[in-house]
Structure 1
Amino acid sequence: MENESSLPVLVPTRNHALVELPFSVSRYVEAGLQGAQNTKRGYAADLRSFEDYCQHHQVTYLPAEVTTVAGYVSQMADRGMKLATIRRHVAAIAKLHQLAGQPSPTGHEALQIVLDGIARILGKRQQQAPAFTVAELKQAVRAMDITTPTGLRDRALLLLGFAGAFRRSELVALQVEDLELTHHALVIHLRRSKTNQYGQEEDKAVFYAPNADFCPVRAVQEWTACLGRTTGPLFTRMHRGSKSRAAQPGTAPLSDQSVNDLVQRHLGPLYSAHSLRASFVTVAVEAGQSNKAIKNQTKQKTDAMIERYARLDDVKRFNAAQYLGL
């Protein structure tokens, strides 16, 4: 019988061909196909929804027909789901077929026409998380009860999330040992991010603020002192306290949704966790910072992404007509 380790690995490609590669590269093939953990979790939820749809309509789940996927995305559009969400579901279906070595219906021209029609009807302009002002952030911080561990955590997360232009996934992944306090700044060593899927370490620097009440570095220092440890998740869930004692830090990290809930609790329901990052870009652009300086913090790759993230559509606040010299 042929040794299993000598068998070739069949790799499905985007044009549905199968390429034979040596078994010795199998672990790299698996990592490349599966993708990042956050992406895998999102795809899993989307595929459960697609499978439920197929079972309800008694159609084949894998391989799926073009008409099946077209009906599925049309139903999502009819339910008022966002275009970005619909496209994410389509990407999940494409990944499912790629992993199974099956031709994917998602690249069919007929489905692309359906998606273009959905885009026209729903509108290509996506509802974006608004940017808050620095004044709004300070007002939210002032309202916190920082005599409690929960208040210390929430203040540190909001100030660090804003000053560091963090994604929610990055905030919940941060470990205490990722922090390095220097004389000039707090340096955060990112192990992995949405734009850094391959694990090269990236650094963000967060600087001291003149007012200690709104200083992200001091806020993080006070929170880590409350944690009382030098390793493990930085932002954690709280253990419910007794009537005479406030909730205390736990060991389990916050979830992505918890970060979103925290932002809305303190800044209002109009905002989301993504507002932390959008607000950083907007405030930095308004302050005249260069795209290079902004990208050093956001880790975005292109200037076009700066334009996408900046919320500069307030005609009263951002308008060259103010500077005509009349």
Structure 2
Amino acid sequence: MATKSQLSVASSTTAVQVPAHLVESTSRYVESGLRGAANTVRAYAGDWKRFTTWCQLHQLASLPTPVEALAGFLTELADTGKKFATIERHAAAIKKAHELAGLESPTADKKTKVLLKGIAREIKTRQKQAPAFTLDNFKRTIRSIDVSVPAGLRNRALLLLGFTGAFRRSELEALNIEDLAFDEDGLVVTLQQSKTNQLGQAEEKAIFYSPDSALCPIRSLQAWLKVLSRTEGPVFVSMRKNNQLTTRRMTTKYTNLIVQQYLGSQFTAHSLRASFVTVSKLNGADDSKVMNQTKHKTSAMIRRYTRLDNVRQHNSAKELGL
């Protein structure tokens, strides 16, 4: 991605208007504002690197990018079978790099927009969504976990907390013990930052006790915290093969592998969140209640997250009174 120095050079008008001793801070704040969520930054960085490598191979400029160069790159992605969502993300990364450098993005060109529309039509695909699991299947899975070893305790706590809290995997990765507040009513988790809360404003999720201790997210988490035997630092850490704890924060990639290990290869860490929405809706929860936990901003997003694979599910035809 473009660097702060590139931003300062490109934004010469800003440097004139801002006092000299504030230019560096101003550039830093602007860059931070343009970045986005941490996972998005990492994805964009990889996409931008792939694009600049492609430009070097074809002896084309990458910053600023000619419209023709962008068209060639996006076309190659489409021809090699990339999903449309992946192609869109590459275009967004290129747009972001130009914004950071204070340059006009080729993605705004009408030719690019027409090209992307045509690619979408040709591919005829929509973004693949993580499937939801059934509650019965999830319960069976949780009960089957061997909690006689630390890895089992950690994984049970991760799955139960991830599901009942509708957590994103990045939120689970970033979770610290200091973010947990237990009381007789349950647990309140404070999110210091999330995908939709990038300014660090306090955001909370409520977790409740389950009458079945084997399925209780709070008791499971407390059992895991006893193994950690500390009062601060990351909640979920990686482990060595002999079940020895490390101090390394567990990555989102590993969270995904744990979900697939227990629930099946068709699921992802995002299935925890999608399943929370789906199960809640099937049990009659209204959108406002669901949004209070997921922190979605609109009912449209709740509809997008609800996975109904059976026409008989959540169907008002059952409630006609005939």
Return the TM-score normalized by structure 1: 0.90
The counterpart of 2:293, out of the listed 293, 297, 300, is 297
Shift of 1:325: 4.8
Match of 1:244 in 2: none
Aligned residues: 310
Q: Distance in 2 between matches of 1:180 and 1:202?
A: 13
The answer to whether the 8 A contact 1:18-1:101 is kept is no
Shift of 1:185: 1.3
Return the TM-score normalized by structure 2: 0.91
Q: Distance in 2 between matches of 1:30 and 1:316?
A: 49
Change (3 A) 1:288 1:318: closer
Name which of structure 1's ranges 274-283 and 79-88 shifts more when overlaid on structure 2: 79-88
Gaps of 5+ in 1: 1-8, 242-246
Can you list the C-alpha shifts for 1:246-293, whole angstroms capped at 9, x where unaligned? x12211111111111111111001110110100000011111111111
What letter corresponds to residue 168 of structure 1 in structure 2?
R
Q: Distance in 2 between matches of 1:267 and 1:316?
A: 24
Match of 1:250 in 2: 246
Q: Distance in 2 between matches of 1:66 and 1:202?
A: 41
Q: Distance in 2 between matches of 1:10 and 1:285?
A: 51
Match of 1:237 in 2: 238
Q: Distance in 2 between matches of 1:223 and 1:35?
A: 32
User: Between the two proteins, what is the percent identity of the paired residues?
Assistant: 49
The answer to whether the 8 A contact 1:47-1:89 is kept is yes
Q: Secondary structure at the match of 1:151?
A: helix
Show the 5 A alignment for 1:211-230.
211-230=212-231
Match of 1:182 in 2: 183
Q: Distance in 2 between matches of 1:220 and 1:11?
A: 50
Q: Distance in 2 between matches of 1:304 and 1:212?
A: 35
Shift of 1:316: 3.6
The counterpart of 2:273, out of the listed 248, 252, 277, is 277
Q: Secondary structure at the match of 1:251?
A: strand
The answer to whether the 8 A contact 2:282-2:313 is kept is no
Q: Distance in 2 between matches of 1:136 and 1:248?
A: 30
Q: Distance in 2 between matches of 1:314 and 1:120?
A: 27
Match of 1:155 in 2: 156
Q: Distance in 2 between matches of 1:238 and 1:128?
A: 30
Q: Distance in 1 between matches of 2:238 and 2:231?
A: 17
What letter corresponds to residue 285 of structure 2 in structure 1?
Q
The answer to whether the 8 A contact 1:176-1:230 is kept is yes
Can you list the C-alpha shifts for 1:178-214, whole angstroms capped at 9, x where unaligned? 1010111111010000000100011101100111001
Alignment RMSD, CA only? Answer: 1.9
Quick check: 1:310 aligned with 2:311? Answer: no
Q: Distance in 2 between matches of 1:117 and 1:54?
A: 23
Match of 2:174 in 1: 173
Q: Distance in 1 between matches of 2:273 and 2:35?
A: 27
Q: Distance in 2 between matches of 1:123 and 1:196?
A: 33
Show the 5 A alignment for 1:262-273.
262-273=258-269
Q: Which one has the bigger helix percentage?
A: 2
Gaps of 5+ in 2: 1-7
Q: Distance in 1 between matches of 2:185 and 2:267?
A: 31
Show the 5 A alignment for 1:15-94.
19=14, 21-23=17-19, 24=22, 26=26, 27-94=28-95
Shift of 1:85: 1.5
